[in-house]
Structure 1
C-alpha cells in the first residue's frame, strides 16, 4: 500500500506544494503523464520514496547524456480501448492515436538500445522500459493506412486507391465542363465566373433571370434571392457517377476501419500497458527537466531523520533573488529557535525546510547542493501565517492556538513541526511563557521542531534546553537591511539602538534608553554581539584556512605529479640507454665473431696459427663488453673516448669503403671532408675510425688490384635502400672501386618496381668512368643486378 501523509491536504496547501506540481506540468507531453502528476503526493514509505528518487536520478542521467526520452504528444487511448472491448469500430482519429502509442514504444525501445552504450548504470528506468511491447507489423500497417489526423490513406487498400483515382478523374471532367461555362458568352449569365459546391454537387452561381439558360437542378440560392446555385443539365450524369464513387469510397473506408480495429483487438492489453509505461516515462522526463531548470540535486534519505540541507533555496522564489542557506536538524539537536527582525527571512526559512522535505518525499530532486540529506517523516505539521477565521470569529491568537492544539494531539517522535511566531498575538509576557511551554511539550514528544519568534525570553532558550539550538537571521546594521542568511548557534539581538543612532537620533536619547532596559536584556544583547563578532572572526579564519589548504593541496598534487613524471622519465631514459648500449655491444660482438672465424680459418690453414684458447679468451673478453649498467662514469672509457676524438689532420679508416684517408675539415656535427687518394669525399662521422699515423707508402703500380677482405667489395647491395640514398651510394662506390683498381663490379638493386634499376641505368650512362654495363646472367640475379665494367 502506498504510504502517504495523513494530513497531506493541509500541509500541502500551507507550503504551496501545488505550485511545484504546476511547474512540473509544463514539461509533460502526454495525457497519462499528466495523470501521474495529479497523483503525485509525498510518501512515508522509505523504499517507495527511494524508488521514486531513483527514477528521477535515471531521468536526469539520461537527459544529461542523450537528451530527454523521446516521448511524443500522446492523447489518452483508454476510451478507445474501452470502445474496442465492447465490439465498436474505431474511427480514423482513434486509430491514429493508437498507432502513435505503438510508434512511440518502438522509438523509445530503440533509444534505450542506443543508450546501453553509455557508461552509466540505470537504477530503475531500464526495467520500466523493458516492459514495453513492440508490435512492428501492426505498427507498420497503422502507419501506412492512417495519417496523423485520422485520414485513411490511398495505401490502405488497392480498392480504395482505384476508387479515389476514379473520383479524381470524374472531378477533373466535371471541373473542365463547368469551367467552360465561366468563360466566353456564358459568363454573362453568372453572378460570378466561378465553380462552387452545394450539397456535395458542383454548381454555378446563375443570375435569377437566367435560371433556365443552363437547365439542370437548383441546389441553393443566395440570401437576396438574386443568385441561384444550379447544377447544369450537362454535368448531372457526371455528378451522379461522382456521388456513387464517393459512396463506394466511404464504404471501403468503413471496411478498412473495421479490419484495422479487428487487427488491434487481440493486443488491447499490450497497447494499454505501453500507454501506461510511456506516461510513466513522460513523468520521469518532466521530473528530470524540472530538476535541471532548478539546478536541483538528488536528496539522500537519512532514516534517522538527520536533515542536512546545504545551500538550500526556496524553489518558488526567483533564482536570481533567493538566498541559499545551510539548514541542519536532527543529529545534534531536534529543535531550532530562529529569531530576527520582521521581513528578515524567518518564515521563508521555515517554508524552505518544509517544502524541500515534501519534494524529497515525493521523489523529486531538491534545490540544494549535492550530498544534502533529508529525513523520512510520517507527518509534517505547520502553523505559518495569519490563519484567522472570520466565519468562526476567532482572533489571530485564537486561530494559532487552535491550530497548535490540533498539532499537539497528533505529533509524535517521527513528526516535523514548523511554527511561525509561536505564541504571538497576545500579551508579550504571557505569549513568551506559552511559547516556552509549547516548545517544552514538543520536546517531550521528541519530535523535530523549527520555530520562529520575536520574544527576547526565547533568545536564551537554546542554552537551557537539551537538543535545542538558537539561530537567527542576519541583519546588516550598516545598510539597515536584512541579509536573509541563517546563522545557526547565534540568537538574534535587538538592533533598535543601532538603527536609531544611524538614522540620527540624539546620542543622549539612545543612552537614556539603554539605561531604561533590563540589565539582563542588556547583558544578553552584549553576549549576542560578542557571539556575532566571534562568528565573523571564525568565518574569516576558516575562509583563510580553506584558501591556504587549497593552495597547499594543489602544490602537493603538482609536486607529486612532477616527482612521478621525473621518476618515469628517468626510468625511460635508463631503459633507452641500456637498449642502445646493448645494441652497440651486440653489433661489436657480431663483428668480433666474424674476426674470430677468420682467425680460426687462418689457424687451420697455417701451421703455426693462432691458438684455440687464445681465440676463446678473445671472444670472452669481447662478450664482456655488454653491460647492464650505464658506462658514462667509466674513466677508462672516457679516456679512450677522448683519445679517439677526431680532429683535422688525423689519419682515418673509411669503414664503408675500407680506404685510408686524412681528415681535411669538419663540415657539420655528423660529417667530415676526407682526402681519399686523389678524391675528396664527404663522409659520415660514424663511418670513420681513427688510425695511427703510418709511414709514407711505397709507390705502387697504377693499376694494382686489391683483393684483401678489408677493401672495397666487388659487389654493392642496394636492396632496401631509399632511391636518393642508393644513387649517392652508387656514386661513391664507383669512385672507391676505381681507387681499388677493380675492372668490373656488380650492383645489386633488386627488381621491385623498377624505379631504382632505371635510376642506376641513367646514372651509369652519364658516368665517364663506366666503359659498359649489362644485367647479370639469369643464374646470378638477372635484371635484379647490373654488372659494370670500368675504364
Structure 2
C-alpha cells in the first residue's frame, strides 16, 4: 500500500491511537508500523483475532501488558555467556511475571467455553515460574540482593553487621569519652570506605591513627583511630568477599536464564503479538466497532458507518454501496455537505479492515480486498515547485492512472476543479471513463452537471448526493445513492440575503438545457422526499401491525394455557372423586365379607347398605356440573359466634369458628386437625350443623354429624395403657380399620410391659386380622417390649 494514501486518509492517526492502547514499548512500535495487507486469509485471521480479543475483554475485563520491555539485547548477551546485572535479571523476571499473568487470564471459567483463535498463542506462552521465582528470591531491587540469596552471603552480611556494630561502639566510646575535647564535632563519618572521626588539626598528635582526608580549610583532619583500624580492615575484607559472592549469585542466575533463552525469546514474541491484538480490540471497543465481511469481488456495503476520527456523539452515520450494480459512484451536492467525509470514510475503512482493525459500522458491513488504494483529496498546491491547484491535482491523477487496476480503489475529491469548467468537466469524464473500463472501483465528488448526465447515461455508473436542507442552510450529512445532487447556489444565496433582482438576472444566464436539468433534479428530489415519507409511514404501520399481532398471539397463548389449566384441574378433581369412590367401595366389600363370616344381623347389613347408597349419591353429585351459585352474603363480625360451621373459600374446606374476628377481620377456624387464621371475607356461613373438627358437636341441637376423612383423624399411634384386654381389643379393632382405610403403611400400638397379658391379647388379635401383614416388638429407641409395630398389607 502506497505511503501517500495512508497520510491522505489519516490512517497514521488511527495507528497512533492504537499505539496509545498498547502496553509495551515494543508493541507500540509495531502498532505505529502496522500496514494493511492484501492477502484475504491473513486479513480474515487478523479480524478473527481482534473479534476474539474483544469478546474476552467484554467477558473478563482488561488485560495489562505493562512490565514488558525489549529484552532482545539481554538475550544476545546470555547467548555469548555474559553475566547479567541485577537490573537486567529483573527485566527478565518482569517479562516472565507478565507471561504468568496473561496465561492465567486465558484460562477458561467453564469447560463449556469453546476455543478461539487466541488459544494457540496463549498455550505457547511459557511462564518459567522456577526461573522468575529464583530471580525474585535473590534480588530485592536493582541495587540490592537479598540476604537469603545464598548461605555464604547470609553469613558474610551477618559478620559485616557484627563488625560494623563493634566499630560504631568503639568510635562512639571515643567520641563521647577521652578524645571529645580534640574533636571538631562529636560525629562518626566515612572516608574512602573507612570509619573516621573529625579531629582538630592542632590536636593531631593527641589522637593516634591514620589520616584519610582533611577539610577544605585544613582545620579538620579525618582520622581513623588505631583502635578501629583492625576492625575496619576486617570490614573491608568482608565487603570484598560479599562482592565476590554477589558475582557468583548473578552468574548462577544468568546461567539459569541462559538455559531458557529460546523460551524467553518466544515469550517476548507472543506477548508482543497479544499486546497488539488486545490493543486492536480496545480500539474497537472505544468506537463500538464491528468485524467487516471481506470479499474479493470488489463489493463494498457499509451500514451506518461513522468516521472514526470524528466525534462519535455528533457524527451522522452513512450507508454506502459500491461494486454491486455499479462500479463508479459520482457524488454531487453543495460544499460542507459531507462529500469528502464520505470519500475518506470508504478509503479509511478499507485500510483499517485490511490491517485487521474493526470498523465503526453496523454488523454485516462488507468490504473488498484491494491491492492498492489511491486518493486525490485536498489542496496540494506547491509554491516551491510553482504548481497551481490544478497542476498539483493533475500530477497525482497521472500517477494514479499509471498504477490503477481492477483490484484498486480510487477516490477523487472535486475531480477536474481548478480550471475552465467546460474543459475540466470533459477531462473528468475522460479520466473516469478510463478507470471504469479498467474495472477499478471509483468514487468521485464534483459540482459539474456534465458528470451528473454522464452518470445517468452510462451503465455501471451511479449518481449520489449529500442531502442539504435549504430551509435551514444546513447539510444533513446523509448520503443518498441514485439521486444527483443540486448545488442550490441560487437558493442559498437568497437565504443569505442576496437580492431577488440579482438572482433573477443570474438565472437568465443559464442555458435552457441547464435550467431544465436543474428542474429535473428538483423534481427528483421532491419525489424522493415524498417517497421517503411514505416509506417511513408504511414502516410505522408495519411496526404497529407487528405489535398488534404479537399481543394477539400472547393473548391466544394465555387463553390456551388457561384452558389447559382448567382441564387439568378438572381431571385431577375427577380422579380424586373416583379414587375416593373406589376406596369406599373396597371398604364396603371388605365389610360385607366380614359380615358374612361373623354372622352380623340383617339390620346391621341394611344400615351399611343405606350408608353406601348415600355415599354413592354424593359421588354422583360431585361428578355432575354444579349449579351456578348465588353470590354469597357479605359476613360481618356479629354474624359469627364460636362453634358456627363455616366454609373457607380459598381452601375449599369446612370448619368451625374457634375465635371471634379482631379489628382487621381475622379469626381462627378449626378445619379437622388444621387450625388456621383467615379473614372474614374468605368465609361462608353454613346452614347445616355439620362440622369438621374431631369430636365436636353443635350446641343446642343434639350431636353433629362428623364429616372428616380418615386420614385427617387417625393418628400414627394407639395408646392402650390402663385398659383391660377386652376394652383394648375393641378399641384396637376400630383403630386398625381406620388406619387401614387411611392407607397408613404402619402404626404403633402402646400396651406397656406389665404382666404381659395385654401384649399377649394384642398379639393374638393381630394374628387373626387379615389387614395386618406383620408385627413386631419395638426396638431400642422405639419403646422396647412395651410397644408393638404393626405393618399393613398394601
Q: TM-score range by the shorter chain?
A: 0.7 to 0.9
Q: Alignment partner of 2:433: what SS?
A: helix
Per-residue CA deviation, residues 697-734 of structure 1 (Å, 9 max, x unaligned), is xxxxxxxxxxxx99999xx86349xxxxx9xxx9xx99
CA–CA distance in 1 between the matches of 2:51 and 2:708?
82
Q: Alignment partner of 1:344: what SS?
A: coil
CA–CA distance in 1 between the matches of 2:404 and 2:202?
91
CA–CA distance in 1 between the matches of 2:11 and 2:508?
49
Contact 1:95/1:150 (8 A) holds in 2: no
Per-residue CA deviation, residues 44-95 of structure 1 (Å, 9 max, x unaligned), is 0100000000110111001000013343321112111111111112222222
Q: How does 1:259-658 map to 2 (within 5 A)?
A: 259-606=252-599, 636=624, 638=626
Indicate yes or no: 2:96 matched with 1:106. no
Paired residue for 1:88, among 66, 82, 88?
82
Q: Assess, with a 3 A threshold, how the Cα gap between structure 1 residues 133 and 566 changes in structure 2: closer, same or farther.
A: farther
The alpha carbon displacement at 1:213 in A equals 5.3
> After the TM superposition, which of the residue ranges 178-187 and 139-148 deviates more from structure 2?
178-187
Per-residue CA deviation, residues 334-379 of structure 1 (Å, 9 max, x unaligned), is 1111123333332222112111110000000112222211110111
Q: Which residue of 1 aligns with 2:23?
A: 29
Q: How does 1:662-673 map to 2 (within 5 A)?
A: 665-666=645-646, 670-673=653-656
CA–CA distance in 2 between the matches of 1:191 and 1:105?
58
CA–CA distance in 2 between the matches of 1:188 and 1:563?
111
In structure 2, list runs of 5 or more residues that go unmatched: 633-642, 659-667, 675-685, 691-705, 736-749, 763-777, 789-794
Q: Return the TM-score normalized by structure 2.
A: 0.77
Q: Return the TM-score normalized by structure 1.
A: 0.77
The alpha carbon displacement at 1:282 in A equals 0.9
CA–CA distance in 2 between the matches of 1:576 and 1:172?
94
Q: Which residue of 2 aligns with 1:161?
A: 154
Paired residue for 1:199, among 192, 200, 209?
192
> After the TM superposition, which of the residue ranges 273-282 and 386-395 deviates more from structure 2?
386-395
Q: Assess, with a 3 A threshold, how the Cα gap between structure 1 residues 668 and 281 changes in structure 2: closer, same or farther.
A: closer
The alpha carbon displacement at 1:125 in A equals 0.4
The alpha carbon displacement at 1:562 in A equals 4.0
Q: How does 1:768-779 map to 2 (within 5 A)?
A: 779=759
Q: Assess, with a 3 A threshold, how the Cα gap between structure 1 residues 665 and 55 changes in structure 2: closer, same or farther.
A: closer
Aligned residues between the structures:
692
Q: Assess, with a 3 A threshold, how the Cα gap between structure 1 residues 638 and 250 changes in structure 2: closer, same or farther.
A: same
CA–CA distance in 1 between the matches of 2:483 and 2:647?
84
Q: Which residue of 2 aligns with 1:139?
A: 132
Taking only aligned residues, the RMSD between alpha carbons, in angstroms, comes to 4.4
Q: Alignment partner of 1:311: what SS?
A: strand
> After the TM superposition, which of the residue ranges 352-361 and 204-213 deviates more from structure 2?
204-213
CA–CA distance in 2 between the matches of 1:609 and 1:745?
24
Contact 2:317/2:478 (8 A) holds in 1: yes
Indicate yes or no: 2:246 matched with 1:253. yes
> After the TM superposition, which of the residue ranges 578-587 and 370-379 deviates more from structure 2?
578-587
The alpha carbon displacement at 1:207 in A equals 5.2
Q: Assess, with a 3 A threshold, how the Cα gap between structure 1 residues 252 and 682 changes in structure 2: closer, same or farther.
A: closer
CA–CA distance in 1 between the matches of 2:707 and 2:573?
27
Q: Which residue of 2 aligns with 1:651?
A: none
Q: Assess, with a 3 A threshold, how the Cα gap between structure 1 residues 551 and 718 changes in structure 2: closer, same or farther.
A: same
CA–CA distance in 2 between the matches of 1:26 and 1:560?
53
The alpha carbon displacement at 1:385 in A equals 1.6
Per-residue CA deviation, residues 568-605 of structure 1 (Å, 9 max, x unaligned), is 34324433442343234323322321111110222344
The alpha carbon displacement at 1:671 in A equals 4.3
CA–CA distance in 2 between the matches of 1:673 and 1:625?
22
Q: Alignment partner of 1:33: what SS?
A: helix
Contact 1:337/1:451 (8 A) holds in 2: yes
Contact 1:32/1:276 (8 A) holds in 2: no
Q: Assess, with a 3 A threshold, how the Cα gap between structure 1 residues 786 and 164 changes in structure 2: closer, same or farther.
A: same
Contact 2:36/2:355 (8 A) holds in 1: yes
CA–CA distance in 1 between the matches of 2:25 and 2:359?
25
Q: Which residue of 1 aligns with 2:68?
A: 74
The alpha carbon displacement at 1:301 in A equals 1.1
CA–CA distance in 2 between the matches of 1:543 and 1:528?
22
Q: Alignment partner of 1:308: what SS?
A: strand
CA–CA distance in 1 between the matches of 2:427 and 2:185?
90
Contact 1:59/1:284 (8 A) holds in 2: yes
Q: Which residue of 1 aligns with 2:91?
A: 97
Paired residue for 1:124, among 117, 137, 148?
117
CA–CA distance in 1 between the matches of 2:454 and 2:13?
35
Contact 1:581/1:626 (8 A) holds in 2: no
Q: Alignment partner of 1:342: what SS?
A: coil
CA–CA distance in 1 between the matches of 2:95 and 2:541?
59
Q: Alignment partner of 1:40: what SS?
A: coil
CA–CA distance in 2 between the matches of 1:686 and 1:442?
97
Q: Which residue of 2 aligns with 1:762?
A: none
Contact 1:315/1:367 (8 A) holds in 2: yes
Per-residue CA deviation, residues 179-198 of structure 1 (Å, 9 max, x unaligned), is 56666896776666554434
Q: Alignment partner of 2:145: what SS?
A: coil
The alpha carbon displacement at 1:229 in A equals 4.3
Q: Which residue of 2 aligns with 1:60?
A: 54
Contact 1:96/1:150 (8 A) holds in 2: no
Q: Assess, with a 3 A threshold, how the Cα gap between structure 1 residues 399 and 573 changes in structure 2: closer, same or farther.
A: same
